[in-house]
Amino acid sequence: MHPPVRLAAIDMDGTLLPSFGYEISRRNLRALRAAQDAGIIVVIATGRRAAFATPLLEGLGLRADMPLITSNGAVIRTFGGAPIDRWTLDTAAARGLCGLLRGFGVMVFTFDQPGCGKLVLEDLELAQARMELWVEANRDAIEVVRPLEQVFQTRGAPIQGMVAGPIPAMREAEKAFASSMWSDVCECLRTEYPARDLAILDLLPRGISKGTALERLAGRLGVNRLEALAIGDNWNDVDMLEWAGQSYLMGNAARELRAMARMRGWKQVPSNDRNGVAVALETVMARLPKLEAPKGHNWEGDRA
């Protein structure tokens, strides 16, 4: 019998969000609010950068102290903007990755800073051809630098790198990374979207993932892993699903992930378009004891 859930980490794309559009369904939103009201610390865990994820959650009545794990674990801050944790990619590794992976697809580096230049790439036309929706959604943050290696001289260390392209090409890129010297100092996490024949490899500081970020966050809060819930749908959610003591995989996940879920004992819920997040949260909330009204968390105090 699992203990009551105290911490729930929820992926965004393919999990909390519908397949088309960025509006959270009414039932999912009710479940998020109800979980917070019941004393569960809801965490949004996404591969997206914080500046993109935050506006999607505004005006929904969610708590300002809700933690956001963004850039696949490289940045943790609250919904209200208070910093919690942050890691950067080694600049020598970032330069080396440019030479290793640029031939496989679109390369992008993310910098945690205000204004234009949060996202830096060297081939905008190629990015538009492969990720048109992504380019349009992030156009105000994109800067073009050729060659890409030059950006590290003036901008310093990025928080995350990314290479994107067709799924077969990205699987080859993943093999090239694994056999390179950079695999000892960086992490490479894959996300796939078969309907669009698109895969993304996220390049992160060594030891960084949604799973490690969730573990660190839980440690700050005094939450045992058996009291932690994770909900996700893609390969970059695997570390998070493996660490949490109670994990749910979305019904729209790839067949290989659904087979993994059966082997690992993860429960499965309906797809993102059928309110799978709400189903998972409603299930765990039904087992909760009656709790006192939740109190805010002083993240700044943790950093002192």
Segment 17-27, tens digit of pLDDT: 999 999 999 99
| 52 pLDDT more than 80 | yes
Domain-ending residue, one of 150, 183, 205 = 205
**Neighbour tally for 219: CB within 10 Å:** 11
Pair 61, 151 in one domain: no
Banded model confidence at residue 289, pLDDT cuts 50, 70, 90:
confident
C-alpha dist (Å) from residue 252 to 1, 70, 216, 222, 268 = 27, 22, 28, 32, 10
Has residue 199 been placed in a domain? yes
Pair 201, 220 in one domain: no
Amino acid at 249: L
Pair 95, 186 in one domain: yes
Pair 20, 52 in one domain: yes
Q: How far is it, in rounded angstroms, from Cα 202 to Cα 71? A: 9
Has residue 2 been placed in a domain? no
Give residue 290's pLDDT. 65
- Range from 134-138, 211-215, 299-303 carrying the lowest mean pLDDT: 299-303
Contacts of 122 by beta carbon, 8 Å cutoff, 6+ apart: 102, 107, 144, 145, 146, 147, 148
Pair 221, 299 in one domain: yes
The average pLDDT across 53-81 equals 96
| 302 pLDDT more than 80 | no
Domain-ending residue, one of 205, 228, 247 = 205
Q: What is the CATH number of the domain that holds 193?
A: 3.30.1240.10
Has residue 225 been placed in a domain? yes
Has residue 251 been placed in a domain? yes
| 268 pLDDT more than 50 | yes
Question: To the nearest whole number, what is the mean pLDDT of the chain?
Answer: 93
The average pLDDT across 261-268 equals 97
Pair 180, 247 in one domain: no
Give residue 303's pLDDT. 46
The average pLDDT across 231-257 equals 97
Decide if 31 contacts 38 (C-beta within 8 A): no
Pair 216, 282 in one domain: yes
Q: How many CA atoms lie within 13 A of 255 on its CB side?
A: 1
Has residue 236 been placed in a domain? yes
Pair 155, 18 in one domain: no
Backbone φ and ψ of 155, nearest 5°:
-100, -20
Question: Under DSSP, is residue 101 helix (H, G, I), strand (E, B) or coil?
Answer: helix
Residue 109 structural domain: 91-205
pLDDT above 70 coverage of the chain, percent: 94
Q: How far is it, in rounded angstroms, from Cα 97 to Cα 99? A: 5
Q: Give the number of domains in the chain.
A: 2
Pair 234, 170 in one domain: no
Model-level pTM? Answer: 0.90
**Helix locations, 26-123, DSSP H:** 26-37, 50-57, 91-101
Give residue 134's pLDDT. 87
pLDDT tens-digit map of 209-228? 999 999 999 999 999 999 99
Pair 38, 177 in one domain: no
Q: What is the CATH number of the domain that holds 217?
A: 3.40.50.1000
Question: What tokens does 178 get?
Answer: 């694994």
Has residue 58 been placed in a domain? yes
More reliable by pLDDT, 179 or 3 = 179
Pair 198, 115 in one domain: yes
Contacts of 260 by beta carbon, 8 Å cutoff, 6+ apart: 238, 266
- Range from 44-48, 134-138, 144-148 carrying the lowest mean pLDDT: 134-138
Domain-ending residue, one of 173, 205, 237 = 205
Give residue 130's pLDDT. 87
Chain length of the chain: 304
Contacts of 133 by beta carbon, 8 Å cutoff, 6+ apart: none
Banded model confidence at residue 291, pLDDT cuts 50, 70, 90:
low
Has residue 1 been placed in a domain? no
SS (H, E, C) 155-167: HCCCCEEEEEECH
Pair 199, 230 in one domain: no
Contacts of 56 by beta carbon, 8 Å cutoff, 6+ apart: 12, 17, 22, 24
Closest CA to 86 of 63, 103, 110: 110
